[in-house]
Structure 1
Amino acid sequence: MTTSKPPLKAGFLLLPLPGFSLLALGGFVDKLRFSADEEDHSQQRYCRWQLVGLEAGAVNGSSGVPVEVEALTAPEGFAGYDYLVIFGSRTTQSALAMAPAYQALLRQGARRGLTLVAVDNASFLLAQCGLLKGYQVVVHWRHLAEYKNAFPGSRIRERDLYCIDGKRATCAGGCATIDLAVELLARHSGRELALKGLADMLVDESRGSHHALRSLNEAPGQSRLVGRAIALMRQNLAKTLSIEQLSLQLGVSRRQLDRLFVDNLGHSARQHWYKMRMQHCHWRLLNSTYPIGLLGLEIGIHDSSYLSKQFKRYFGITPQLLRSQARQQDYRNEVIGEALLTPDMSGE
């Protein structure tokens, strides 16, 4: 395989605390690695990459596994880069809080013509730095409602795995980074090089940006119409749509939709939507520090007192107590972890 085009060059900027996803990073890096040379010796011939951070040293992933990075200094460090790929941290709040530290670096990269690529929660960082204004954005489905509230008026492509819009690209994360890497390689170096190595990665084929995840909206034996309804429910968690309005969008009657939900899931469409909202609130309580009032806005409940009552009714515990218990458990785990890593100096 030969190519007359210059190699694709990318810097992978890993955000620290509480860590980036190893799955997202590994998928992206390995796709470049398989396309990087002809004999799969991991030589950076047709693709070149560098793992970077604000400082040199180890950056821990969300699983605690450390990855060594080199220091990225602007503008010298941008020399030769086509893409700066930012891998988001585990929580959106930490990504937002990092804006002051990363804003100058990212804006300088944009001025130098780099394509800025945000993976997972890194879209929050770019948006907070003012670098996604006017661009189409893809956000992980778990953080869709939060992104809409944080950046109203954004042009969000709600069902997509990734989006390339001029000098900006965003990706929902996970193994979708493989699909994004394939598309970037195809545009930069041609389709043949882009598809190289997919079989070695045990990937049947690259998915387009509009690929719909069956695992997200469908279950074995579940009606396709129920899957479409669940997808609409997820996209409209923060809205006060009625089941009648939802049925109208699906082209069925309220009674028919309820009958399908009972047949497939054992409960009505309204009960399922309520369950989705409560579970979303539960997840956000454990993975953010936002007050209950703001979390209520993400699921269409504007009265925090009412939300607390509904939450306790569903889970048997108040939001405040759930969060308090989770923090106490995190603290205990941290203390135990430090004890295990600290050598016993007391002697035999």
Structure 2
Amino acid sequence: MPDSVPVSTNTSSAPDVRFLLIPLPAFNLLPFGGFLDKLRFSADEEDHSQQKYCQWTVAGLTKGALLSSSGVAIDIPTALDELDLADYDYVVMFGGRSAQASMAEAPAYKPFLRRAAAKGLTLVSVDNATFLLAAAGLLMQREVAVHWRHVPEFEQAFADVSVQADQLFCLDGKRISCVGGAAAIELAVALVARHCGQTKAVKGLADMLVDNLRSQRHAIRSYDDVMAAGAGASRHVQRAIVLMHHDITQRKTIEALAAELGVCRRQLDRLFTDEFALTTSQYWMMMRMNHACWRLRHSTYRLSDIAEEVGFMDVSYFGKVFKRHVGCTPKQYIAEK
């Protein structure tokens, strides 16, 4: 906890920190539930969900049922236009599985968010809500943490915003971002610790079965990465896969990748061949094609945008490479979904 942040002993009835939680349409339940449950455990001495040390309000553009990405609905009890911004310290927005959908919501939320920023509230974006803040012009010249799967998409859309790799969440003054998922729990711990102290911040983690609290700069690795590398894969191979995900366009050469790992290209190729029967370059290309497949399945992006996202300026050439690796053209692949 930073020494410059005072920790209240809370001798009055006022909470130490106040959160306004805004789930976006089709929000993901895991980060929302994890963040909220961490606040609940830290809110009082026992486990009574009394908002003594930290306070929260769930709100939205309108009241009523709001569907999550899983189809489960929650009730939004308060509309944003009913709130007094002076009652809050943080506005925390929870995005959904689609970055495009989050960006499309920007015009509706932009006036409220600009008022909140003008009042000095800290704007927090979890998951793809970071796309909304960027689209609203509230992240210019800022640093953000973005889920690894969406890094190329974000960098392509917002060149004036710096994406910080290998971070679960990024604290940039009055702008805070989080990659989503279970990392929302670590973010909640960090924010509660600022105002309530570390003891209250970690309270309840054992009950949540969170055994190892990860740091802000924990290296992000997906489950797919771990399974692909295999339990017996070398440290260099596992780290190379993480770096490949962060540079899905393959702007680096294989030589530069190997140098970053402290090995020569020949050694790196030998490690990948032993593990996957593929050279480093072949594995990286396979990863890029898999990412293109995911984007074709889960977005409405133009083919030229997807090609550029995985490092192809020529759409025609991308189509040929895609067919060679996947067995059909991108258009045929889309038709099958």
TM-score (norm 1): 0.89
Indicate the SS of the match to 1:40: coil
Taking the aligned partners of 1:45 and 1:290, their CA distance within structure 2 comes to 46
Deviation readout 1:223-244 (Å, 9 max, x if unpaired): 1111121122112212433222
Deviation readout 1:221-280 (Å, 9 max, x if unpaired): 111111121122112212433222322232222111111111222321111101110011
| 1:196-275 map, 5 Å | 196-213=203-220, 215=222, 217-218=225-226, 219-275=230-286
Taking the aligned partners of 1:92 and 1:213, their CA distance within structure 2 comes to 19
Partner of 1:4: 10
Query: Amino acid of the residue matched to residue 244 of structure 1?
Result: E
Partner of 1:166: 173
Contact preservation (8 Å) 2:141, 2:160: no
Matched, 1:287 2:298: yes
Partner of 1:86: 93
Partner of 2:80: 73
Partner of 1:318: 329
Query: Amino acid of the residue matched to residue 189 of structure 2?
Result: V
Using the TM superposition, give the Cα deviation of residue 325 of structure 1 relative to its aligned residue in structure 2, in angstroms.
3.0
Equivalent pairs counted in the alignment come to 323
Partner of 1:109: 116
Gaps of 5+ in 2: 1-7
Contact preservation (8 Å) 1:198, 1:205: no
- Structure 1 runs (4+) greater than 6 angstroms displaced: none
Taking the aligned partners of 1:318 and 1:284, their CA distance within structure 2 comes to 14
Deviation readout 1:278-308 (Å, 9 max, x if unpaired): 0110111111111111011111111111112
Gaps of 5+ in 1: 327-348
Query: Amino acid of the residue matched to residue 151 of structure 1?
Result: F
Taking the aligned partners of 2:231 and 2:141, their CA distance within structure 1 comes to 39
Taking the aligned partners of 1:220 and 1:83, their CA distance within structure 2 comes to 41
Query: Amino acid of the residue matched to residue 140 of structure 1?
Result: H
Cα distance change on mapping 1:171 and 1:41 into 2, 3 Å: same
Question: Percent sequence identity over matched residues?
Answer: 50
**Greater Cα offset, 139-148 or 247-256:** 247-256
Taking the aligned partners of 1:266 and 1:115, their CA distance within structure 2 comes to 49
Indicate the SS of the match to 1:52: strand
The alignment's C-alpha RMSD in Å is 1.7
Matched, 1:13 2:12: no
Query: Amino acid of the residue matched to residue 303 of structure 1?
Result: D
Indicate the SS of the match to 1:106: helix
Indicate the SS of the match to 1:79: helix
Contact preservation (8 Å) 2:38, 2:204: yes
Task: Kindly indicate whether structure 1 or structure 2 has the higher relative contact order, using CA contacts under 8 Å at least 6 residues apart.
Answer: 2
Partner of 1:22: 29
Taking the aligned partners of 2:216 and 2:276, their CA distance within structure 1 comes to 29
Taking the aligned partners of 1:72 and 1:189, their CA distance within structure 2 comes to 28
Taking the aligned partners of 1:215 and 1:93, their CA distance within structure 2 comes to 22
Taking the aligned partners of 1:214 and 1:303, their CA distance within structure 2 comes to 30
Query: Amino acid of the residue matched to residue 265 of structure 2?
Result: R
Taking the aligned partners of 1:179 and 1:301, their CA distance within structure 2 comes to 37
Deviation readout 1:140-175 (Å, 9 max, x if unpaired): 000000111001142211110001111111000000
User: Which of 310, 314, 318 lines up with 1:303 in the alignment?
Assistant: 314
Taking the aligned partners of 1:294 and 1:108, their CA distance within structure 2 comes to 34
Partner of 1:195: 202
Query: Amino acid of the residue matched to residue 19 of structure 2?
Result: A
Cα distance change on mapping 1:235 and 1:147 into 2, 3 Å: same
Indicate the SS of the match to 1:197: coil
Using the TM superposition, give the Cα deviation of residue 214 of structure 1 relative to its aligned residue in structure 2, in angstroms.
5.1
**Greater Cα offset, 248-257 or 22-31:** 248-257
Taking the aligned partners of 2:82 and 2:58, their CA distance within structure 1 comes to 16
